[in-house]
Amino acid sequence: MNAITPPALVEALALRDALPEDRPLNLSRRGLLGASLGALVLGAALRAAPARAQAAAAAAKPGTRVPAFLEIRPDGAILLKSPFVEGGQGVSTAMAQIVGEELDADPARFTVECAPPGADYLVVNGMRITGGSYSVRSSYATMRQLGASARHMLLQAAATRLGVPPESLSTAPGRVVHAASGRTLDYGALATEAAALPVPEGVALRAEKDFRWIGKPVARLDVREKSTGKATYAIDMAVEGMLQAAVQHAPRLGGEPGAIANEAAVRAMPGVHSIHRLPGAVAVVADRWWRARRAAEALEVTWTAPAAEARNALPADFSSEGMRAALAAAPGPGNAAETEGDAAAALKGAARTVEATYDAPYLAHGQLEPPSALARWNADGTLDLWLPNQAPEMFQRVAAQLAGIAPEKVRIHSPMLGGFFGRHFLYDAANPFPQAIQLAKATGRPVKLIWSREEEFLRDALRPMGLARFRAGLGADGMPVALEAEAVGEGPIGRYFGTKPGAADPSVVEGIAGKPYAIPNRRVAQVPVKHPAVIGFWRSVGHSMNDFFYEAFLDEMAEAGGQDPYALRLRLLAGKPRHKALLEAVADLSGGWKRGPYEAADGTRRARGVAMASPFGSEVATIAEVSLKGGEVVVHDVWVAIDPGRIVNPAIIEAQVNSAVALGLSSALLEEVVYADGAPQARNFDGYPILPPDRMPRVHVRIVESGAPMGGIGEPGLPGVPPAVVNAVAALTGQRIRSLPLSKTRLGAA
Return the SS3 of 363.
strand
- In the DSSP assignment, the letter for residue 74 is T
* Closest separation in Å from C-beta 88 to other proteins: 3
Considering only 140, 362, 420, 548, the residue that binds other proteins (CB under 8 A) is 420
Q: State yes or no: residue 699 binds other proteins (CB under 8 A).
A: yes
Q: State yes or no: residue 233 binds other proteins (CB under 8 A).
A: yes
Q: Which is nearer to other proteins, 598 or 685 (CB)?
A: 685
Summarize the chain as % helix, strand, coil (round to 5). 35, 25, 45
* Residue window 431-470: x/- pattern of binding to other proteins, with contact defined by CB under 8 A: -------------------x-xxx----------------
Q: State yes or no: residue 89 binds other proteins (CB under 8 A).
A: yes
Considering only 289, 318, 553, 593, the residue that binds other proteins (CB under 8 A) is 289
Distance, in Å, from the CA atom of 481 to the CA atom of 655, rounded to the nearest integer, reads 39
* Closest separation in Å from C-beta 663 to other proteins: 6
Q: Which is nearer to other proteins, 70 or 642 (CB)?
A: 642
What are the distances in angstroms from CA 411 to CA 79, 417, 637? 19, 18, 46
Q: State yes or no: residue 500 binds other proteins (CB under 8 A).
A: no
β 521-528/335-340 pair status: antiparallel
The CA-CA-CA angle for residues 575, 578, 582, to 5°, reads 115
Helix ranges (DSSP H) in 468-505: 492-497
* Rama region for 498: left / alpha / beta (φ>0; ψ in -120 to 50; rest): left
Q: State yes or no: residue 224 binds other proteins (CB under 8 A).
A: yes
Q: Which is nearer to other proteins, 424 or 646 (CB)?
A: 424
Torsion angles phi and psi, residue 103, rounded to 5: -70, -20
Residues 671, 682 contacting (CB under 8 angstroms)? no
Q: Which is nearer to other proteins, 232 or 262 (CB)?
A: 232
Distance in Å from the first CA to the final CA of the chain: 50
* Closest separation in Å from C-beta 91 to other proteins: 11
Distance, in Å, from the CA atom of 283 to the CA atom of 439, rounded to the nearest integer, reads 8
Q: Which helix (H) or strand (E) holds 526?
A: strand 521-528
Stretch that binds other proteins, among 324-332, 431-439, 561-569, 658-666 (CB under 8 A): 658-666
Encode 213-233: b = buried (16+ Cβ within 10 Å), e = exposed: bbbbebebbbeeeeeeeebeb
Stretch that binds other proteins, among 217-225, 524-532, 567-575, 616-624 (CB under 8 A): 217-225
Sign of CA dihedral 689, 692, 694, 696: positive
Distance, in Å, from the CA atom of 211 to the CA atom of 128, rounded to the nearest integer, reads 27
Return the SS3 of 235.
helix
Stretch that binds other proteins, among 68-76, 230-238, 315-323, 485-493 (CB under 8 A): 230-238
Strands laid side by side in the 480-489 sheet: 335-340, 521-528, 480-489, 466-474, 352-360
Considering only 23, 698, 744, 746, the residue that binds other proteins (CB under 8 A) is 698
Distance, in Å, from the CA atom of 443 to the CA atom of 292, rounded to the nearest integer, reads 14
Q: State yes or no: residue 235 binds other proteins (CB under 8 A).
A: yes
Considering only 655, 731, 732, 747, the residue that binds other proteins (CB under 8 A) is 655
* Residue window 347-386: x/- pattern of binding to other proteins, with contact defined by CB under 8 A: -------------------xxxxx----------------
* Closest separation in Å from C-beta 615 to other proteins: 17
Considering only 43, 90, 565, 719, the residue that binds other proteins (CB under 8 A) is 90
Return the SS3 of 559.
helix
Considering only 1, 205, 223, 307, the residue that binds other proteins (CB under 8 A) is 223
The number of angstroms, rounded, from the C-alpha of 302 to the middle of its chain's C-alpha atoms is: 36
Q: State yes or no: residue 663 binds other proteins (CB under 8 A).
A: yes
Q: State yes or no: residue 220 binds other proteins (CB under 8 A).
A: yes
Stretch that binds other proteins, among 34-42, 116-124, 232-240, 564-572 (CB under 8 A): 232-240
Distance, in Å, from the CA atom of 546 to the CA atom of 524, rounded to the nearest integer, reads 12
Distance, in Å, from the CA atom of 719 to the CA atom of 215, rounded to the nearest integer, reads 25
The number of angstroms, rounded, from the C-alpha of 483 to the middle of its chain's C-alpha atoms is: 30
Q: Which is nearer to other proteins, 80 or 416 (CB)?
A: 416
Q: State yes or no: residue 425 binds other proteins (CB under 8 A).
A: no
Distance, in Å, from the CA atom of 688 to the CA atom of 456, rounded to the nearest integer, reads 12
Residues 60, 149 contacting (CB under 8 angstroms)? no
Q: State yes or no: residue 685 binds other proteins (CB under 8 A).
A: yes
Q: Which is nearer to other proteins, 175 or 702 (CB)?
A: 702
Stretch that binds other proteins, among 236-244, 530-538, 585-593, 598-606 (CB under 8 A): 236-244
* Closest separation in Å from C-beta 667 to other proteins: 12
Q: Which is nearer to other proteins, 169 or 660 (CB)?
A: 660
* Closest separation in Å from C-beta 696 to other proteins: 4
Residues 749, 605 contacting (CB under 8 angstroms)? yes
Q: State yes or no: residue 589 binds other proteins (CB under 8 A).
A: no
Q: State yes or no: residue 651 binds other proteins (CB under 8 A).
A: yes
Distance, in Å, from the CA atom of 66 to the CA atom of 102, rounded to the nearest integer, reads 13
Residues 244, 451 contacting (CB under 8 angstroms)? no
Residues 501, 335 contacting (CB under 8 angstroms)? no
Q: State yes or no: residue 229 binds other proteins (CB under 8 A).
A: yes
* Closest separation in Å from C-beta 188 to other proteins: 26
Q: Which is nearer to other proteins, 474 or 682 (CB)?
A: 682
Q: Which is nearer to other proteins, 400 or 691 (CB)?
A: 691
* Residue window 547-586: x/- pattern of binding to other proteins, with contact defined by CB under 8 A: ----------------------------------------
Q: Which helix (H) or strand (E) holds 226?
A: helix 223-227
Q: State yes or no: residue 417 binds other proteins (CB under 8 A).
A: yes
Q: State yes or no: residue 265 binds other proteins (CB under 8 A).
A: no
Stretch that binds other proteins, among 76-84, 200-208, 223-231, 726-734 (CB under 8 A): 223-231
* Closest separation in Å from C-beta 613 to other proteins: 18
| Strands annotated E in 529-665 | 598-599, 605-613, 619-629, 632-643
516: closest CA among 614, 649, 385?
A: 614
Size of the site for other proteins (CB under 8 A): 63
Considering only 661, 669, 724, 742, the residue that binds other proteins (CB under 8 A) is 661
Q: Which helix (H) or strand (E) holds 323?
A: helix 320-329
Q: State yes or no: residue 231 binds other proteins (CB under 8 A).
A: yes
* Residue window 504-533: x/- pattern of binding to other proteins, with contact defined by CB under 8 A: ------------------------------
Considering only 7, 131, 415, 418, the residue that binds other proteins (CB under 8 A) is 418
Q: Is the peptide bond before 722 cis (omega within 30 degrees of 0)?
A: no
581: closest CA among 619, 618, 608, 543?
A: 619
Residues that bind other proteins (CB under 8 A): 87-90, 219-220, 222-233, 235-236, 238, 244, 270, 288-291, 366-370, 416-421, 450, 452-454, 651, 655-656, 658-663, 666, 684-686, 690-694, 696, 698-699
